[in-house]
Amino acid sequence: MNAIDQITYRARAGADGIVIIQTDTTIRDHQRAARWQRRLEPWLRAGRCPGCAYLDFGQEAAFIRFLATTGKRPGWESVVVLAGQSAELTGTYALELAEPGEPGTGYGDIRILREGKRPGLRRGNLETRARSVDASAALIAALAHGLQGARRVIMPGPNPGLAEAVTWGFITIRRMLGDIRPVSFLTSASGNIPDTDVPGILMSFRADVLTALPPDQGFIALAADLAGRFADDPGGLRQILDDYGLPAAPDNSGRIRQLLTLPPRSQPGNASRKGTATVTTSFGGPAGRVESAAPATPTVMCPICLGDIADWSALEYWRWDATVGEGDYVRIDIPSDLNPTQRARFTHGAYVRCPASTDMTTVAHYLPARYGRFGDPVLLGFVGLTQSGKTHLLASMIGEINGLSGYGMNVTELDRATHHAFLEKSVKPLIAGNKVLPGTPDDASTTLTDAFIVRQANGLERVVALFDVSGGDLARRDSTKEFLWIADGLFFVIDPDHINASKVGDDTFSNVLDIVSHRPKEESAAAAIVLNKADKARFEEPIARWLRAGNGTLDPTEFLRESADVYAYLEEHQAMELTKPYQACRKATLHVASPTGSAQEGVEKASKYPRGVTPMRVLRPLVAMLAMTGVLTGPQANQIGV
Amino acid sequence: MADVLRFRRVYGGEYEEIPARVDDAEFPAGELLTARTVWLEDGTPSGLELIQHRPVHGDRRQQGYLRLDNEILAGRRLHQAASWSGYPAEVVRLYGDESTSADPFALFELDHGDPLREVGEYLLNDAFDQFLVGLLTGLCWLAGAGIAHRAISPDTVLWDSDTGKVRIADFSRSAPFGSARTPVAGSWAWVPREARPETCYGLVGPTDDMWAAARLIYFVRSRGKDLEDKGKLGELGLSQMFNGLLEKIFGPPEDRPTARDLVEHGLRRHHILPSLQDDGDKRLIQGRTSFLKTRARVHPDAPLPPDFWDDVIWARDRRGAGGPQGGAG
């Protein structure tokens, strides 16, 4: 058996679309060859010529070189695949190989491939180009995303050759940093990029993306420093990283801490000053005040108290400190002489305190520092009776949020601590532990459950914030949850068991719609009515049909059909009161969803889901909501909800 | 082994707890289900003999749950479709189910007959004709219930030589019309292209089973051979027998004839197909129409997408305006 095997596939147009056929392989075991084809097929369909892909599956890896095309889908006519152990077939080495048909060390020479670690023929060219000015911006963006911990990075990719050089530089620098986590990439991607079985980071370059989602400024500064040193002198970069102990850092956080101790690149002689930090003990004002040249950000409304925050960038930074009493926010004092990189370190994961908190009558409340940096955040709330499954729907939605990439959206968490806390408290117990989650307590104050920065292809990034409120609170007419006054979208959540209950008119819905109809906001909220826990009715029509409809597409007709069928289901069950949001809100859709896929065992709150948890159709209401609130745009998205 | 089974009979009602004797021995029932024999204590000396299907244990139990749900859904739908005229002999009959607990099950009445894989080659002359009519009748029932079997093969279609009846079994991979097609694993000889893992697309519809059904007809006619080329249909007289319609089955699902088409326009027989209610589509259409009236009031300027009705009207047209009705034979 070859240590590195070679497989050739061809794309052929069939009656039912493109068919991918294996034409040659060095793998003699048919089952193994078939397994590779099954594994690679979605990636083959995602790639284009000219371009390549490297997929690190953990133990094994594959490198795909897409060859000539005549313009037919899927963008290539044949591919050559190298497959082997990922330790042997590394991403950089695969890129360095001569292309099929080129003279020299290439695909036809398996013997040389098996010799392992010798640099490939193209290494010199790749290094030169990776260090060039052309590659600089893309390399910095990629490195910044990597440092920030992104798992999926979509980059603009008009030039596959440059993309290969950037990718080569990216991996090379990561390895210098001691970051050995897997890196997979597609240098020319189209259509849906699979997001399934590759661990680590997946970087894809797309011609239809004009600019990459910008990472945090602090990470950009760190990345720019690294890319600059790499362009100047790769050997010098490796040396200083070794000197400062980067390869020995225990994790990504440790690496970033160590990077912040590097001396500035412009200071001659600093390379040998091991351990010297430039952070001083003098303190200065917050970032916004120092960077006075920065334009003032637009007014943002606080979702907790509805107060206007006029100049977001001027707010002081705070951090959560678990060691203070039972945990409290403490102000971050930022030294005035910090360089941008050091400032980024200080403000990473920071919060701002709403200015209304200085009023003695208002309880202090905090928001992630990035909350107001992307224009008006989109606020989404969950509305429904107690035990209608709002918390479970929210948890399963967030558990599957990466599935939004299938709709062309790039999603990153707004605040890592908040996201991590929700994952640990709700998502993991539900999805991995099959545990029934406790409902939101009636007396709980409205808090930001989680928030994300969402960007559609080359569009603007928007903050999408999710709020969960107790059902009991919403059912009380005297309780007017503040966020309802400014919510952009509301999920009206229905338990099928409540449909047949004697009191079909849900006070929760009525109360919420009453608020929504009286608020001064220019546009009323969008609504997604969700027939939740639909597994309870999974043998009924049209529930059976829609629960089995998979993730679907952005086709507005599909949303309209589902809306019509769920509306008809409610009508058939004489539950027209529950359809009121459709008539009251400017845009609305109806859905079936099952956050767990099956019922819990017994009625005790500490019980489990004995069949395991398999969320079904939970992302569809969110996709519809993102379309109806303008996060997702385009001709198709604009038609959703009308 | 004495036991008490808690289940709901398929014709509705509440859950009942009925004493039963349960056979310890289990045997496979499809890929992810196991089966065992149970005797419900119904007052007769030996009890009512039924087959109980349950999900397999272990790593694949989760998938087993889904397979069992498919069987229950198909069984319930068939009962609804057959409520006017009695349950069809051509499909296995669900007796009851327990679908909510951690250990769900379905109870089926006994399957009589042997898989066509074993006996297909012996069906000659009249028996072949009985097989043809029985298979197509069973498929018409499935279409009337809005269900595609999605695993028609010589292993899932039985032949009862005592009664000369076909019986379609194993609904574990079935799906309702209008749901998204999911990939079906298995031999490519019996899985149409639109359901294969690498080329799966579209919505489940009434012609999904026809591809495998046509191959099964060839399999029996050729005494156990797989169809390698549709040109072979002519060699065995099937092309003429079906008035040229059988070849059309090997195109895309949208262009295939239905089982009813094969009987009416292929075999050109006065058919005795079972009367079916076909109220599923009617309810769907009525419900959507009601929604559209509300939509027109809320969004008076919003046009209706031209393909809005495609997932219903297509299926309905293919089955005839009133659904599979009348009689054939």
Chain B residues whose CB is inside 8 A of the A546 CB are 179
Same domain, B204 and B140: yes
**pLDDT at position A273:** 30
Q: Do B193 and A560 count as a contact with CB atoms less than 8 A apart? A: no
pLDDT per position as a tens digit, B16-41: 899 999 998 889 888 899 999 999 99
* Within a domain: B325: no
Same domain, B8 and B96: yes
On the question of pLDDT at A424 being above 50, the answer is yes
Q: How far is B120 from chain A (nearest CA, A)?
A: 30
Q: How many CA atoms lie within 13 A of A532 on its CB side?
A: 30
Average pLDDT value for chain B: 87
pLDDT per position as a tens digit, A210-265: 766 777 777 888 888 899 999 988 999 999 998 888 888 878 877 887 888 888 76
Q: Which of B179, B196, B293 to mutate to test the interface with A (most CBs of A within 10 A)?
A: B179
pLDDT per position as a tens digit, A78-104: 889 999 888 888 999 889 887 766 555
Contacts 24+ apart (CB under 8 A), B267-273: B267/B132, B267/B241, B267/B242, B267/B243, B268/B243, B269/B328, B269/B329, B270/B327, B270/B328, B270/B329, B271/B326, B271/B327, B271/B328, B271/B329, B272/B327, B272/B328, B272/B329, B273/B137, B273/B140, B273/B324, B273/B325, B273/B326, B273/B327, B273/B328
Q: Do A601 and B252 count as a contact with CB atoms less than 8 A apart? A: no
Last residue of a domain, one of B53, B80, B109: B109
- Strands (E) located in A41-135: 51-56, 60-66, 78-85
Q: Which of B298, B301, B310, B312 to mutate to test the interface with A (most CBs of A within 10 A)?
A: B298
Chain A residues whose CB is inside 8 A of the B286 CB are 568
Same domain, B39 and B80: yes
Same domain, B124 and B210: yes
Phi then psi dihedrals of residue B8, to 5 deg:
-115, 130
For residue A297, give Cα distances in angstroms to A371, A460, B133. 12, 16, 75
Name the residue of chain B whose CA is nearest to A609's CA: B102
Name the residue of chain A whose CA is nearest to B279's CA: A541
Q: How far is B164 from chain A (nearest CA, A)?
A: 33
**pLDDT at position A512:** 82
Burial class (CB in 10 A: 0-12, 13-18, 19+), A517: exposed
Percent of chain A at pLDDT exceeding 90: 29
Chain A residues whose CB is inside 8 A of the B197 CB are 38
Q: Do B305 and A538 count as a contact with CB atoms less than 8 A apart? A: no
Same domain, B203 and B249: yes
- Give the nearest partner residue to A642 out of B177, B286, B302, using CB atoms: B302
Same domain, B120 and B259: yes
Average pLDDT value for chain A: 81
* Within a domain: B287: yes
Partnered with residue A78 across adjacent β-strands are A10
Name the residue of chain B whose CA is nearest to A599's CA: B100
Q: Which domain holds residue B55?
A: 2-109
* Within a domain: B326: no
Percent of chain A at pLDDT exceeding 70: 82
Residue of A354, A302, A357, A624 lying closest to A485 (CA atoms): A302
Chain B residues whose CB is inside 8 A of the A569 CB are 287
Could you tell me which residues of chain B have a Cβ less than 8 Å from any Cβ in chain A?
A: 62, 65, 69, 72-73, 76, 99-102, 146, 175-180, 182, 193-194, 197-199, 201, 251-252, 280, 283-284, 286-288, 290-292, 294-295, 297-299, 302, 305, 307-308, 311
CA distance A506 to A512: 10
The total number of residues written for chain B in this structure: 329
- Give the nearest partner residue to A599 out of B100, B177, B251, using CB atoms: B100
* Mean pLDDT, residues A401-405 taken together: 92
Q: How far is CA B252 from the centre of its chain?
A: 20
CA distance A116 to A376: 53
CA distance A505 to A499: 9
The answer to whether A327 touches A321, Cβ cutoff 8 Å, is: yes
Chain A residues whose CB is inside 8 A of the B175 CB are 548
* Mean pLDDT, residues A62-90 taken together: 80
For residue A458, give Cα distances in angstroms to A140, A157, A207, A210, A212. 18, 12, 10, 6, 7
For residue A432, give Cα distances in angstroms to A260, A583, A614, B4. 36, 38, 10, 33
Chain A residues whose CB is inside 8 A of the B252 CB are 15-16
DSSP class of A148: H
On the question of pLDDT at B314 being above 80, the answer is no
Beta strands across the sheet bearing A409-413: A409-413, A448-456, A461-468, A378-384, A489-494, A526-531, A588-592
Percent of chain B at pLDDT exceeding 70: 91
The answer to whether B165 touches B113, Cβ cutoff 8 Å, is: yes
Q: How far is A506 from chain B (nearest CA, A)?
A: 20
Q: Do A556 and B308 count as a contact with CB atoms less than 8 A apart? A: no
Q: Do B286 and A563 count as a contact with CB atoms less than 8 A apart? A: no
Amino acid making up residue A218: G
Number of domains in chain B: 3
**pLDDT at position A130:** 92
Q: Which comes out higher in pLDDT, residue A457 or A470?
A: A457
pLDDT per position as a tens digit, A348-378: 889 999 888 765 556 788 899 889 888 889 9
pLDDT per position as a tens digit, A498-508: 886 645 456 77
DSSP class of A596: S
pLDDT per position as a tens digit, B147-162: 999 999 999 999 999 9
**Alpha helices by DSSP H, chain B:** 61-81, 116-119, 125-144, 210-221, 232-235, 238-241, 245-248, 259-261, 279-298, 310-319
Q: Do B294 and A567 count as a contact with CB atoms less than 8 A apart? A: yes
Burial class (CB in 10 A: 0-12, 13-18, 19+), B286: middle
Same domain, B79 and B128: no
On the question of pLDDT at A196 being above 80, the answer is no
Can the peptide bond before residue A542 be classed as cis, meaning omega within 30 degrees of 0?
Answer: yes
On the question of pLDDT at A641 being above 80, the answer is yes
Which of A276-285, A578-587, A607-616, B106-115 comes out lowest in average pLDDT? A276-285
Last residue of a domain, one of B86, B109, B132: B109
DSSP string spanning A353-413? E-GGGGSTTS---EEETTTTBTBSPEEEEEEE-TTSSHHHHHHHHHHTGGGGGGGTEEEEE
Q: Do A544 and B179 count as a contact with CB atoms less than 8 A apart? A: yes
Chain A residues whose CB is inside 8 A of the B99 CB are 539
* Within a domain: B271: no
Residue of A340, A413, A343 lying closest to A371 (CA atoms): A413
Same domain, B123 and B256: yes
Q: Which residues of A152-169 are buried (b: 16+ CB within 10 A; e: fewer)?
A: bbbbbbebbebbbbbbbb
Q: Is B270 helix (H, G, I), strand (E, B) or coil?
A: coil
pLDDT per position as a tens digit, B102-129: 889 999 998 789 999 999 989 988 899 9
Handedness of CA A592, A594, A597, A602 (dihedral sign): negative
Last residue of a domain, one of B59, B76, B109: B109
Q: Do B308 and A14 count as a contact with CB atoms less than 8 A apart? A: no
CATH number for the domain whose boundaries are A378-639? 3.40.50.300
Percent of chain B at pLDDT exceeding 90: 55
Same domain, B291 and B259: no
Same domain, B167 and B90: no
Please report, for the domain that includes residue B47, its CATH number.
Answer: 3.30.200.20
**pLDDT at position A556:** 95
Q: Do B193 and A601 count as a contact with CB atoms less than 8 A apart? A: no
Name the residue of chain A whose CA is nearest to B62's CA: A611
Please report, for the domain that includes residue B135, its CATH number.
Answer: 1.10.510.10
Same domain, B124 and B262: yes
- Give the nearest partner residue to A565 out of B62, B284, B295, using CB atoms: B284
Query: Tokens representing A180?
Result: 């050995």
Angle at B71 between CA B70 and CA B76, to 5 degrees: 100
Same domain, B140 and B52: no
